[in-house]
């Protein structure tokens, strides 16, 4: 019997601009899944609430400030990677302050929901992209 996979909680967000486009960010060289496009976010630290973690990650990764009330729970993905099991809720957010900047990614892009499938994303993100396309 193989060891059970550890479940890792990662929080992510679809930031939506006034034109209805969604922000995706390219993972930098040297990181797992480098070059793939993802939703900004990251791991929830011990003792941290998911929304707190997302607000922290958005400040670190994009330099923006988000109010917790502006984070709307949307859908989640549950995906077995080789070395861990990813559980990742995706929030929607249409309001923030500051200008998005790539502090930790190699590029950022605003994309229409029906064009998200043109960008290579981690396998766990596939169902999220389908939900965004169908529900936004
Ligand atoms: N942020 C984010 N992570 C994703 C997505 N899809 C996906 O499989 N992941 C996986 O979730 C895991 C954690 O994400 P992360 O690398 O952003 O974590 P983090 O910001 O805390 O970075 P760090 O661990 O380098 O400090 C990675 O293995 C990543 O590949 C996604 O759309 N957004
Ligand atoms: Mg991250």
- Work out which ligand 1 atom sits closest to the CA atom of 60: 20
pLDDT tens-digit map of 13-47: 999 999 999 999 999 999 888 999 999 999 999 99
pTM over 0.90: yes
- Work out which ligand 1 atom sits closest to the CA atom of 90: 32
pLDDT tier at 1, thresholds 50, 70, 90? low
Q: What is the ipTM of this complex?
A: 0.94
Q: Is 27 annotated as a binding residue?
A: yes
Q: Which CATH architecture has domain 7-135?
A: Alpha-Beta Complex (3.90)
Q: Domain locations in the chain?
A: 7-135
For 8, counting Cβ atoms within 10 Å of its Cβ (0-12 exposed, 13-18 middle, 19+ buried), the class is: middle
pLDDT tens-digit map of 81-127: 999 999 999 999 999 999 999 999 999 999 999 999 999 999 999 99
Q: Torsion over CA of 25, 29, 35 and 40, rounded to 10 degrees?
A: -20
């Amino acid at each position: 019997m193989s060891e059970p996979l550890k479940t890792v909680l990662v929080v992510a967000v679809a930031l939506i601009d006034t034109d209805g486009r969604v922000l995706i960010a390219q993972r930098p060289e040297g990181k797992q899944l480098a070059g793939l496009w993802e939703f900004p976010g990251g791991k929830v630290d011990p003792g941290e609430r998911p929304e707190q973690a997302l607000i922290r990650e958005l400040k670190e990764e994009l330099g923006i400030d988000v109010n917790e009330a502006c984070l709307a729970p949307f859908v989640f993905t549950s995906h077995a990677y080789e070395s861990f099991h990813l559980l990742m809720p995706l929030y929607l957010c249409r309001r923030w302050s500051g200008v998005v900047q790539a502090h930790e990614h190699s590029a950022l892009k605003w994309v229409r929901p029906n064009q998200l499938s043109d960008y290579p994303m981690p396998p766990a993100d596939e169902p999220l992209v389908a939900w965004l396309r169908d529900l936004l």
